[in-house]
Amino acid sequence: MSKQNTHSLVVTKSTLSRLPLYYSFVSRLQTEGVSHVSSALIAQHLNLNPVLVRKDLAGVSSVEGKPRTGFEVTQLVKDISNYLGYNKLDEAILVGVGSLGRILLTNTEFENFGLKIVVGFDKDTNLWGIQLGDKHILPMEKMESLVQRLGIRIGIITVPDDQAQAVCDQMVKCGIKAIWNFAFVPLKVPENILVKNENLPSSLAVLSHQLAKSMASQSKQ
Amino acid sequence: MSKQNTHSLVVTKSTLSRLPLYYSFVSRLQTEGVSHVSSALIAQHLNLNPVLVRKDLAGVSSVEGKPRTGFEVTQLVKDISNYLGYNKLDEAILVGVGSLGRILLTNTEFENFGLKIVVGFDKDTNLWGIQLGDKHILPMEKMESLVQRLGIRIGIITVPDDQAQAVCDQMVKCGIKAIWNFAFVPLKVPENILVKNENLPSSLAVLSHQLAKSMASQSKQ
DNA sequence: GACATATCGATATTTTTTTATCTATTTAAA
DNA sequence: TTTAAATAGATAAAAAAATATCGATATGTC
């Protein structure tokens, strides 16, 4: 609680994206009854540099790790969970109840990571009123009133690419502040709106190109 | 063709993950009949720095951009597509025909990005023999012979987290060289095997934490 | 045909992120 | 009680990535 203030450590995006991995590993240790964990052990498990892990944890942990014993597991789980807001749920809406939308909507896994999708929207009239799990599907027109009534700030876009920008615009108009975009198009948004793109073609490009490279270098030897 | 050799420009991971975005934008221009495009225009559209775009393109484009006119669209599409291997399909297998697995298996979109998933595997006997789209579902035991017969090098893991490592091990044993992992667990693999993790909790952590930060800073003012 | 301008490529600079090194400290074991 | 091994933390160095700057040049305009 106090430490990161005094040191005012910067937690970068890359650190943020590693924290869930630490959390996952450390909370597994907790269920196994392990009491302490060293940065070296975490690093080894996640294929990272121990110094990097130490630095990341220094930014979020309320207590210092102890030489010879490492970090106390229970406390560490609490601290990361706290830092990432896993204890209090953020509410979100989802637009586009196609195959991917359905998965996200019905998968309650995200609630372990601080996100609760409360409702889905779709323009398909056939879907209106039905329930997936305990989530209702509503017509797009209901978005504004619902978002404002519940004070929802996160929107998830799972519509086809060519409709993503329009949905995005509507979300912004309704008061959504952060958008998780699963369509493969860049979204134009006002300055103060956050966008996180989920981008499978980019991932694929990295993987397949590295593969091609590694095969080439092997055949050369 | 000749330029990137003479200059031997390094195309980094971050460049690679931007290339599909360029490709998508530029090929849209092509269908619209636009003949030339400047790095500034691309940058503006994707919210990037023009210099960055120029540098990225320098690494993959066979011809230099011309002052005042920019890059020739047709050629650029060809070059990026070429560089990313979009013209020749890489074959892949997928293991875990649950809801996510189904999407990936039936979505032929990836074939535009150089990846053809040829078959799905699952341990659920009820799925064996059925077809999704034109893709068959086979029992896990058939993996080795099929992978070796077709010389497949890419495996996609869409099983539940607790089964991912076992599936991974089997893939490696069958001769898979690159793994696209949709489970939220780090995979242990031999040195020469590539892994690309698709990691929703990490994305979410970045988004929701930035949101919390931006809300805090706004309420302060 | 000369000139202004948009655009490029190359080099240099800055920023960000990761890794290495060194010292101090805690704890387990002799 | 002393000693040694293991670890954190801080600082420094390196690597990677992004951005800024500048001269060169092709193209449209006067």
pLDDT exceeds 50 at position B109 = yes
Amino acid B28 CA to nucleotide C8 C1' distance, rounded Å:
23
Confidence of residue B14 (pLDDT cuts 50, 70, 90): very high
Chain B residues inside the 8 Å CB shell of A85: 208-209, 212
Angstroms from B196 CA to nearest CA on chain A? 6
Half-sphere exposure of B119 (CA within 13 A, CB side): 18
Whose C1' is closest to the CA of B49: which nucleotide? D19
Q: Which of B99, B115, B212 sits opposite A85 (nearest CB)?
A: B212
Reported as a single tens digit per residue, the pLDDT across B32-56 is 999 999 999 999 999 999 999 999 9
State the pLDDT at residue A217: 80
Please report which helix (H) or strand (E) contains residue A100, including its range: helix A99-106
pLDDT exceeds 90 at position B216 = no
**Which residues put CB within 7 Å of chain D, the nucleic strand?**
A 7, 38-41, 50-51, 54, 57-58, 64-71; B 12-15, 48-49, 51-52, 55, 66-69
State the pLDDT at residue A37: 94
pLDDT exceeds 60 at position A7 = no
State the pLDDT at residue B220: 62
Phi, psi for B198 (deg, rounded to 5): -105, 120
Mean residue pLDDT across chain A: 92
Confidence of residue B10 (pLDDT cuts 50, 70, 90): confident
Q: What's the average model confidence in pLDDT over A92-114?
A: 97
Map out the domains of chain B with their CATH numbers. Answer: 3-84 (1.10.10.10), 90-202 (3.40.50.720)
pLDDT exceeds 60 at position A152 = yes
List all residues 6 or more positions away from B50 whose beta carbon is below 8 Å from its beta carbon. Answer: B38, B39, B40, B42, B43, B44
Reported as a single tens digit per residue, the pLDDT across A42-63 is 999 999 999 999 999 999 998 8
Confidence of residue A3 (pLDDT cuts 50, 70, 90): very low
pLDDT exceeds 50 at position A1 = no
Nearest residue of B to residue A106 by CA position?
A: B99
C-alpha separations of B199 from A17, A198, A200, B134 in Å: 9, 9, 11, 28
pLDDT exceeds 70 at position A177 = yes
What residue has token string 């011809």? Answer: B63
State the pLDDT at residue A219: 78
Angstroms from A9 CA to nearest CA on chain B? 15
Q: What's the average model confidence in pLDDT over A83-109?
A: 96
Q: Is the CB of B69 under 7 A from strand C?
A: yes
**Residues β-bridged to residue A197:** A181
Confidence of residue A67 (pLDDT cuts 50, 70, 90): confident
Half-sphere exposure of B33 (CA within 13 A, CB side): 0
State the pLDDT at residue B23: 98
Reported as a single tens digit per residue, the pLDDT across B113-146 is 999 999 999 999 999 999 999 999 999 999 999 9
Judge: B185–A24 Cβ closer than 8 Å, yes or no. yes
Q: Which of A21, A115, A209 sits opposite B208 (nearest CB)?
A: A115
Judge: A24–B203 Cβ closer than 8 Å, yes or no. no
Instruction: Say if CB A120 and CB A105 are below 8 A apart.
Output: yes
pLDDT exceeds 60 at position B111 = yes
Chain B residues inside the 8 Å CB shell of A196: 203-204, 206-207
State the pLDDT at residue A221: 56
Nearest residue of A to residue B176 by CA position?
A: A211
Amino acid code (one letter) for B211: L
**Which residue places its CA closest to the C1' of nucleotide D5?**
A68
State the pLDDT at residue B3: 41
pLDDT exceeds 80 at position A73 = yes
Confidence of residue B201 (pLDDT cuts 50, 70, 90): very high
State the pLDDT at residue B6: 34
